[in-house]
Structures are given as C-alpha cells and as structure tokens.
Amino acid sequence: MMGEISVPIWVAVPVGILAFVALFDRLFVPSVRWFLRRRVNRVIDKLNERLELKIQPFKLTRRKVMIDRLTHDPKVMEAIVSFARDEGIPAEVAADKAERYAREIVPSFSALAYFGFGTRISRFISNALYRVRIGMVDDRSLGEVDKDATVIFVMNHRSNMDYVLVTFLAAERSALSYAVGEWARVWPLQQLIRSMGAYFIRRKSRNALYRRVLARYVQHATEGGVTQAIFPEGGLSKDGALQKPKLGLLSYIIADFVPDRSRNVVFIPVGLNYDRVLEDRVLTGSDDGRFTFRFGVFFRFIAHQLWLRISGRFYRFGYACVSFGTPLDLNSFMKTTPENSTERLGQELLDRIANIVPVLPVSLVSHVVLSADAPLTKLQIKSSCHNIWTSLAARQIYSHIPHADEDYAVDVGLRMLTSRHILDEVGGRYEIQPKGEKLLSYYANSISHYFPQPVAFSENHLDQ
C-alpha cells in the first residue's frame, strides 16, 4: 500500500500542470474576479455620480446573458419557427442561425474601455485634426429632459469621424451606444467597437429572422434606458446634402411604444459639419455606392499626417462644429401623431437636424463660388458672405465665424480650398479647378437646404 509508483516524466509534467491550473481556477480565479468586479463597480458608481445620463444596468449585463435573453425572446422564437417553415429547415438550424445573429449584434460594453480609453483617444484625435467648436445649444430644453427617459441622439452623417467627435463631446453626459455598419467588422476594429458599446447592423439585409433579432435587441436596449446615437439618414452622403430618412431603427424603437405606459424616449437632434471631411474624395469618387474601410489606405493616411507633423508642415483640417437642438418627446409625439407615425417621426427629426447644421467657412465660401456666374475676387466673396451671414442670422441659423471676424473666416475658407487645389487664384480671381468641382459641390451641399436654389449635384448617395 505504501510502495512507490514510477511515473514517466512525460506523464508527470502534464499532470502537474493540469493540477496547478485546476487549483488556480478553483482558488485564485474567483478571488481575482471578485476583486476586479468590485473595482469596476466602484468606477461605475463614481461615473454615475458625475454623468447627467446614468449608465443603465442593461448596458452592464454580461454579453452571454444578453445573447441568451435575445435568442429566447418570445418574438424571436416565433420568428425562428416561421423562418424554419419558410426555408424548409429544422427549427434547431434556424435557432442556431438566430444565435449567430445575436452574437453578431450584441456588444460587450466596458466602462473602463469607454471612459478610460475611448473618450480620451476620441478627445485627442478630435483636437489633433480639427478646431472643435460647439455651435447652437438649446440649454433650457436640454435641461428639462426627463432623467428616467431613454435618450437617443439623432444626427446627420457627414463622416465616420462623427462617432469620434460626438463620443468626445458627449463624454460628460453619458456613454453612447452607436449602430455601426458592416464596414467596421474587421479585426481588431470590431473588438474595440464592441467594447465601446456599439452594435453592428446589416443595413440592407432582407432576412426576416435577422431583422427580428435586430429589432428585439434595439427594443430591449430602449426599454433598458440605454443612451443611444443613431443616424436617420442611414449612411454617408456622396453629394454632401442631407438624405431622406431611413426608417428601420426608428420603426423598431416605436413598434411596441405605448404612450404613458412604455418608458419614455427623448430624441436630441445633433447637427454636425466639417471644413474638411476625411473621406470626401472617396465619397465623391465612389462608383459602387459603398464605403469600404481599407487598412492600407488608413495607415498610409496616418503615416502621411505623422510625417507632415514631424516635418512641421501639418495644419489641422479647419473647424468641426456640433450643434444640439430642441429635443423631441416621443410620448407627446405619439399622442398627437397616431397615424403614419414612423414616417412623420423620421421627417420631423431630419427637419430638426437640418435647422441646426452649422454653417462653416469652407461650406459658405464653396456655396458663394459655385453660385457665381464667373470667377470672383476675394472682395466679392467677402461681400457675398457678409450678406448671407446677415440673412442667416435673421433666420436664427447658426454660423461659426472664427474670432467673430468675417474677413478672417473667408480667408480660412479660401486657404483650405486653395491648399487642396480645389480653387486656384488666377489674376486676383478664384477659379474652380477641373478636379475640384465635385468637392466644392460636396461642401456647398452641406448647407444647401438653407437656400432656395441648392447646388446641382448627382442624386446618388452612399449607404454605409
């Protein structure tokens, strides 16, 4: 009974390692997990003390729990049965497909990643590339927003920089959950975006099962009070003008909404504009109607900008301006607009966004130059801009005039356009370069809805 047993070294070593792993898993991992969870909870408590819109428990639910809850949702189960019957496949196969969709959609929010890394890097990138300014803000109405309501920021979609810019500017209010297109489902961007609380959507999917899973996730998040940010236009515009509203996400949000019974939803309009959109040449030159993220192009751009900074030739890309408009209370809206509510809601939100898009130097100078019958001198451009600024101010439309100096603002716009070879000064007059007309129209169209005669351009748009 007490005899020795010889065990070969090639058996003893793996057994010893497995025993150590089992001991570590049973004794140390639970303690470490408990310690880390306590630290995370303390961080979240401190964040909620300073945030205007608290981080809701739904957002902190473990991802696996949310996936299981979504997959076994009664309405999703009904869709699984219907999909299996229509496709002639076993219900188990349809259920597996629904679970894959849920895993694709559900984020894995990390408060430490969002506030420890995300907001800091978004602040750095925004300020490194642009002179960031806040435009018009309806402080009184924003201050009256019900703190128990689900707040959804709705904004025009000028650039993929929108995600970064609004994350930075809203960091003191809440953590935003974005709906992100398929272009971002590339490693390692996908993992980073999920940790920031964003969820991926297939914008053009006609799969009924997928749409039901997506709809139920959006409804769960809305019912859970998750602060969200959506783009009613659905994607980036190829011509720079505002697009007609896409109603998919909005229809999901209001599908089960019952006035005075459901958790209220408040939409906050956000208007964005840039003196330079990073993707402008890609958007105006795209023939297939889609934006594709390419790491090679991205890293070449970053490398070029770093080289310009090192060599002392880097200039920021002008101004980026964001305005916050008057909120729309869904409870009140649904009571007064019971019919065609989705279409009317989408149009009302887009109209509110359109009324607060900031007028920036590049967009106004572009409009003036394109509206002229012949090349203009700088003095003529400044005179036209002055007249337009006066007219816009009378209509309470916000224009960002740097340093409150109109001459300087026009100089900023002309410098941006000439340095990029969109305009060229010839004999004291500014002429449009042959390859610059599309870009000039693109920037002019960002404010074309303020004028009775919008700049002509292609009707095509880019779906992200």
pLDDT in tens, 188-247: 667 778 888 888 888 777 789 999 999 999 999 999 999 999 999 988 888 999 999 998
| pTM, rounded to two decimals | 0.84
Residue 376 has pLDDT above 60, yes or no: yes
What confidence score (pLDDT) does residue 36 get?
Answer: 47
Query: Residue 35: pLDDT band by 50, 70, 90 thresholds?
Result: very low
Residue 424 has pLDDT above 90, yes or no: yes
pLDDT over 90, % of the chain: 52
Both tokens assigned to 147 = 């703190």
Neighbours of 118 (CB within 10 A): 25
Please give the radius of gyration of the chain, using alpha carbons only, rounded to the nearest integer.
26
Residue 148 and residue 264 in contact, taking contact as beta carbons nearer than 8 Å: yes
Least confident of 38-42, 122-126, 242-246, 357-361: 38-42
Residue 426 has pLDDT above 70, yes or no: yes
What confidence score (pLDDT) does residue 454 get?
Answer: 43
Parts of the chain belonging to CATH 3.40.1130.10: 103-354
If we measure between CA atoms, which residue out of 163, 191, 165 comes closest to residue 178? 163
Residue 384 and residue 397 in contact, taking contact as beta carbons nearer than 8 Å: no
Q: How far is CA 272 from CA 12, 66, 269, 437, 463, in A?
A: 65, 33, 10, 22, 18
What confidence score (pLDDT) does residue 115 get?
Answer: 82
What confidence score (pLDDT) does residue 452 get?
Answer: 73
d(C-alpha 347, C-alpha 327), whole Å = 14
Parts of the chain belonging to CATH 1.10.10.10: 361-450
SS3 376: strand
Strand boundaries in 158-298, DSSP class E? 177-180, 199-200, 228-230, 265-274
Residue 422 has pLDDT above 90, yes or no: yes
The DSSP string of 298-323 is HHHHHHHHHHHHHTT------EEEEE
Residue 236 and residue 159 in contact, taking contact as beta carbons nearer than 8 Å: yes
Strand boundaries in 182-294, DSSP class E? 199-200, 228-230, 265-274
Query: Residue 401: pLDDT band by 50, 70, 90 thresholds?
Result: very high
What confidence score (pLDDT) does residue 74 get?
Answer: 94
Residue 129 has pLDDT above 50, yes or no: yes
What confidence score (pLDDT) does residue 318 get?
Answer: 93
Residue 398 has pLDDT above 60, yes or no: yes
Rounded to a whole number of angstroms, the distance between the first and last alpha carbons of the chain is 73
Residue 34 has pLDDT above 50, yes or no: no
Residue 69 and residue 103 in contact, taking contact as beta carbons nearer than 8 Å: no
Average pLDDT over residues 146-153: 91
Neighbours of 419 (CB within 10 A): 10
Better-predicted residue by pLDDT, 72 or 296: 72
What confidence score (pLDDT) does residue 68 get?
Answer: 93
CATH architecture of 103-354: 3-Layer(aba) Sandwich (3.40)
Judged on CB neighbours under 10 Å (0-12, 13-18, 19+), 463 is: middle
Residues 6+ apart with CB under 8 A from 66: 106, 220
Residue 264 has pLDDT above 80, yes or no: yes
What confidence score (pLDDT) does residue 357 get?
Answer: 97
What confidence score (pLDDT) does residue 191 get?
Answer: 76
Better-predicted residue by pLDDT, 364 or 460: 364
SS3 173: coil
What confidence score (pLDDT) does residue 170 get?
Answer: 85
Query: Residue 142: pLDDT band by 50, 70, 90 thresholds?
Result: confident
What confidence score (pLDDT) does residue 455 get?
Answer: 43
Give me the phi and psi of 357, to 5 degrees please: -65, 120
Fold of 361-450: Arc Repressor Mutant, subunit A (1.10.10)
d(C-alpha 32, C-alpha 40), whole Å = 12
pLDDT over 70, % of the chain: 80
What confidence score (pLDDT) does residue 428 get?
Answer: 93
Least confident of 23-32, 55-64, 108-117, 293-302: 23-32
Least confident of 4-13, 42-51, 227-236: 42-51
What is the Cβ-side half-sphere exposure of residue 151, based on CA atoms within 13 angstroms? 24
Residue 39 has pLDDT above 70, yes or no: no
C-alpha angle 35-39-42 in degrees, rounded to nearest 5: 140
Q: Give the mean pLDDT of the chain.
A: 84
* Pairing relationship of beta strands 131-137 and 319-324 according to DSSP bridges: parallel
Better-predicted residue by pLDDT, 143 or 365: 365
